[in-house]
Structure 1
Amino acid sequence: MDLLDIFIQTIGGLGLFILGMKMMTEGLEMTAGPRIKRILGAISSNRFMGCATGAGVTAVIQSSSATTVMLIGFVGAGIMTLEQAVGVILGANVGTTVTAQMIAFKLTSLALPAIAIGVPMKFFSKRRRNRHIGEIILGFGLLFYGMTVMNHGLAPIKNDPEFIAFFTRFSTDTYPGILLCVAMGALVTIMVQSSSATVGLTMTLAAQGLITFPTAMALVLGENIGTTITAEIATIGSTSLSAHRTARAHTLFNVLGVSMIVLMFPWFVKIVTATTLMMGADPVTDTVNGEFLNVGRYIANGHTIFNVMNALFFLIFLPQLIKVAIFLSPREKKKERYHMPSFDARFIDSTIGALAKVRGEVVQMAKFTHRSLTNTCECLIVRDDDRLAEREAIEEHIDDMQKVIIKYLTSIYQGEVNETEANEISEMMRITNNIERIGDSMENISKILEKIYENNYIISDDAVGNLVRISSEVEQFFNFVIKEMGERTPGFMAMAKAKEDLIDSLREKMRQDHIDRLRTDSCSVDVGVLFIALLSNFEKMGDYCFNIATSIDSIQ
Structure 2
Amino acid sequence: MYLDVLFKVVGGLGLFLYGMENMSSGMQKIAGDKLKKILAALTTNRIMAILMGIFVTGLAQSSSVSTVMTIGFINASLLTLQQGLGVILGANIGTTITGWLLALNIGKYGLPIVGFAAIAFMFVKGEKSRTRALTVMGFGFIFLGLELMSKGLSPLRTLPEFINLFHSFKADSFFGVVKVAMVGALLTGVVQSSAATLGITITLATQGLIDYPTAVALVLGENVGTTVTALLASLGASSNAKRAAYAHTLINIVGVMWATVIFRPYLSILAHFSDSTANMATAIATAHTMFNVINVILFIPFIGYLAKFLCTIVKDDDNGVIRVTKLSSLMVTLPNVVIDQTRTEVLTMAANIKEIFFKLEEVYYNPSKLEAYNEEIDAIEEKLDLYEKEVSDANFTILNKGLEASYVEETRGNLITCDEYETISDYLKRVSNSLMRLKKDDLELTQERKETLQKLNHMVFDFFDDINKAYKTKDRDLFMLSISKYTAIKNLYKEARHGHFDKEAQNDETIPAKLSTGYMDILNYYRRATDHVYNIIEHYAKI
The alignment's TM-score, normalised by the length of structure 1, stands at 0.74
Aligned to 1:183: 182
Counterpart CA distance in 2 for 1:388 and 1:457 is: 20
Does 1:302 pair with 2:287? yes
Aligned to 1:198: 197
Does 1:130 pair with 2:129? yes
Counterpart CA distance in 2 for 1:132 and 1:416 is: 11
Change (3 A) 1:336 1:191: closer
Change (3 A) 1:335 1:358: farther
Change (3 A) 1:250 1:352: farther
Change (3 A) 1:260 1:428: farther
Change (3 A) 1:378 1:203: farther
SS of residue in 2 equivalent to 1:173: coil
Aligned to 1:384: 371
Q: Residue 308 of structure 1 aligns to which amino acid in structure 2?
A: V
1:451 Cα deviation from its structure 2 partner: 5.2
Deviations 1:498-542 (A, max 9, x none): xxxxxx9xxxxxxxxxxxxxxxxxxxxx99x99xx89x98xx99x
Aligned to 1:275: 273
| Selected match of 1:250 from 224, 233, 248 | 248
Aligned to 1:332: 317
Change (3 A) 1:412 1:337: closer
Superposition pairs for residues 328-477 of structure 1, below 5 Å? 328-329=313-314, 331-333=316-318, 335=320, 344=329, 348=332, 350-352=334-336, 355=339, 382=369, 384=371, 387-388=374-375, 391=378, 395=381, 398-399=384-385, 401-402=387-388, 405-406=391-392, 408-433=394-419, 435-436=421-422, 439-440=425-426, 442-447=428-433, 449-450=435-436, 453=439, 454-455=441-442
1:413 Cα deviation from its structure 2 partner: 2.9
Confirm or deny: 8 A CA contact 2:153 2:204 kept in the other structure: yes
Confirm or deny: 8 A CA contact 1:338 1:397 kept in the other structure: no
Counterpart CA distance in 2 for 1:284 and 1:459 is: 93
SS of residue in 2 equivalent to 1:384: helix
Change (3 A) 1:394 1:56: closer
SS of residue in 2 equivalent to 1:307: helix
Aligned to 1:279: none
1:83 Cα deviation from its structure 2 partner: 2.2
Aligned to 1:512: none
Does 1:285 pair with 2:277? yes
1:449 Cα deviation from its structure 2 partner: 4.5
Counterpart CA distance in 2 for 1:222 and 1:87 is: 22
Confirm or deny: 8 A CA contact 2:72 2:328 kept in the other structure: no
Counterpart CA distance in 2 for 1:125 and 1:97 is: 33
1:365 Cα deviation from its structure 2 partner: 6.2
Deviations 1:343-370 (A, max 9, x none): 64x7556534654775687588679878
Deviations 1:423-452 (A, max 9, x none): 541443255245425523641552365256
Counterpart CA distance in 2 for 1:318 and 1:389 is: 43
Change (3 A) 1:196 1:356: farther
Counterpart CA distance in 1 for 2:130 and 2:41 is: 29
Superposition pairs for residues 505-524 of structure 1, below 5 Å? none
Confirm or deny: 8 A CA contact 2:327 2:338 kept in the other structure: no
Change (3 A) 1:257 1:389: closer
1:218 Cα deviation from its structure 2 partner: 0.9
Q: Residue 216 of structure 1 aligns to which amino acid in structure 2?
A: A
Q: Which runs of 5+ in 1 are unaligned?
A: 277-282, 287-293, 498-503, 505-525, 552-556
1:259 Cα deviation from its structure 2 partner: 1.6
Q: Residue 446 of structure 1 aligns to which amino acid in structure 2?
A: S
Aligned to 2:234: 235
Change (3 A) 1:21 1:337: closer
Does 1:14 pair with 2:13? yes
Deviations 1:450-481 (A, max 9, x none): 25645375999xx99xx9xx99xx9xx99xx9
Does 1:261 pair with 2:220? no
Counterpart CA distance in 2 for 1:312 and 1:124 is: 48
1:205 Cα deviation from its structure 2 partner: 1.0
SS of residue in 2 equivalent to 1:210: coil
Deviations 1:379-438 (A, max 9, x none): 7664536954983x8646745753663465245335421255235414432552454255
1:324 Cα deviation from its structure 2 partner: 2.9
Superposition pairs for residues 310-329 of structure 1, below 5 Å? 310-329=295-314
Confirm or deny: 8 A CA contact 2:180 2:214 kept in the other structure: yes
1:127 Cα deviation from its structure 2 partner: 1.3
Aligned to 1:507: none
Counterpart CA distance in 2 for 1:318 and 1:377 is: 52
Deviations 1:123-170 (A, max 9, x none): 443211111111111111110011111111111112322222221222
Identity %: 33
Confirm or deny: 8 A CA contact 1:6 1:153 kept in the other structure: yes
Task: Give the root-mean-square deviation of aligned CA atoms.
Answer: 4.8
Counterpart CA distance in 2 for 1:57 and 1:42 is: 12
Counterpart CA distance in 1 for 2:22 and 2:331 is: 17
Change (3 A) 1:284 1:57: same
SS of residue in 2 equivalent to 1:106: coil
Deviations 1:309-348 (A, max 9, x none): 222222321122223333444640254569799964x755
The count of corresponding residues between Structure 1 and Structure 2 is: 495
1:229 Cα deviation from its structure 2 partner: 1.4
Which moves more between the two structures, 26-35 or 78-87?
Answer: 78-87
Counterpart CA distance in 2 for 1:231 and 1:367 is: 35
1:189 Cα deviation from its structure 2 partner: 0.4
Confirm or deny: 8 A CA contact 1:74 1:357 kept in the other structure: no
Counterpart CA distance in 2 for 1:30 and 1:46 is: 28
Change (3 A) 1:55 1:385: closer
